[in-house]
């Protein structure tokens, strides 16, 4: 084995498999599937407006900062996507211990239910900040997500 990343058993990115798998078993995506997910996210975000319409009612959330288990608790209390709509105001990563899980779940939800979740970019969603703040706790980075 080259590195300790999650095993890639092949196949396409199955969102209806991975959303519950990440939420309940806390399995992270193999790198190949994460890249597929990021590409699909990029295709969605690039089409969104600077002023983005949002379905009401909506739950507005501040910085998650890698606190994946608090994010799961937030969905448990506030309701699950797509039954509820959410806006996340950025700062998904750094500080907490589970930036990868947090970012992956939000990406998967966005590409599965794009109209139900709005992801704004915080100042931590940049190469410079994640390298400075994230590397210490999260050696996998995610800095490549920036381009
Ligand atoms: Mn912050």
pLDDT computed for residue 1 by the predictor: 44
* pTM for the structure as a whole: 0.87
- Expressed in angstroms and rounded, the spacing between residue 13 Cα and the centre of ligand 1 is 30
Average pLDDT for residues 11-27, to the nearest whole number?
A: 96
pLDDT computed for residue 112 by the predictor: 98
pLDDT computed for residue 146 by the predictor: 43
Is 65 one of the annotated active-site residues of the chain?
A: no
Active-site position among 3, 26, 124, 147: 124
d(CA 6, CA 32): 10
**DSSP designation for 79:** -
- Expressed in angstroms and rounded, the spacing between residue 42 Cα and the centre of ligand 1 is 23
What percentage of the chain reaches a pLDDT higher than 70? 88
pLDDT computed for residue 82 by the predictor: 97
Alpha-carbon 59 to chain mean position: 17
**Protein residues placing their CB within 5 Å of the ion ligand 1:** 63, 91
Residue 134 has pLDDT above 70, yes or no: no
pLDDT computed for residue 79 by the predictor: 98
Residue 93 has pLDDT above 70, yes or no: yes
- Expressed in angstroms and rounded, the spacing between residue 10 Cα and the centre of ligand 1 is 36
Residue 141 has pLDDT above 70, yes or no: no
Spatial CA neighbour of 105 closest among 1, 18, 10, 7: 18
Rg over alpha carbons for the chain, rounded to the nearest Å, is 15
Asked whether the bond before 82 is cis by omega within 30 degrees of 0, the reply is yes
pLDDT computed for residue 135 by the predictor: 56
- Expressed in angstroms and rounded, the spacing between residue 93 Cα and the centre of ligand 1 is 9
Spatial CA neighbour of 107 closest among 49, 64, 60, 139: 64
Mean pLDDT of the chain: 89
Which is more confidently placed, 1 or 142?
142
Residue 110 has pLDDT above 90, yes or no: yes
Spatial CA neighbour of 61 closest among 82, 23, 101, 89: 89
Residue 19 has pLDDT above 60, yes or no: yes
d(CA 117, CA 92): 14
Residue 68 has pLDDT above 70, yes or no: yes
Spatial CA neighbour of 102 closest among 141, 66, 138, 145: 66
């Amino acid at each position: 084995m080259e590195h300790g990343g999650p095993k890639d058993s092949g196949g396409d990115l199955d969102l209806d498999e991975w959303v519950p798998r990440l939420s309940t078993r806390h399995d992270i995506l193999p790198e190949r599937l994460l890249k597929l997910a990021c590409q699909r996210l990029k295709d969605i975000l690039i089409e969104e407006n600077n002023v983005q319409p949002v379905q009401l009612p909506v739950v507005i959330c501040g910085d998650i900062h890698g606190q994946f288990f608090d994010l799961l608790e937030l969905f448990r209390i506030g309701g699950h996507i797509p039954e509820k709509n959410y806006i996340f105001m950025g700062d998904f990563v750094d500080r907490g211990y589970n930036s990868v899980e947090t970012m992956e779940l939000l990406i998967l939800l966005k590409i599965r239910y794009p109209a139900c979740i709005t992801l704004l970019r915080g100042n931590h969603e940049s190469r410079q900040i994640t390298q400075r703040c994230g590397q210490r706790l999260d050696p996998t980075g995610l800095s490549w997500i920036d381009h």
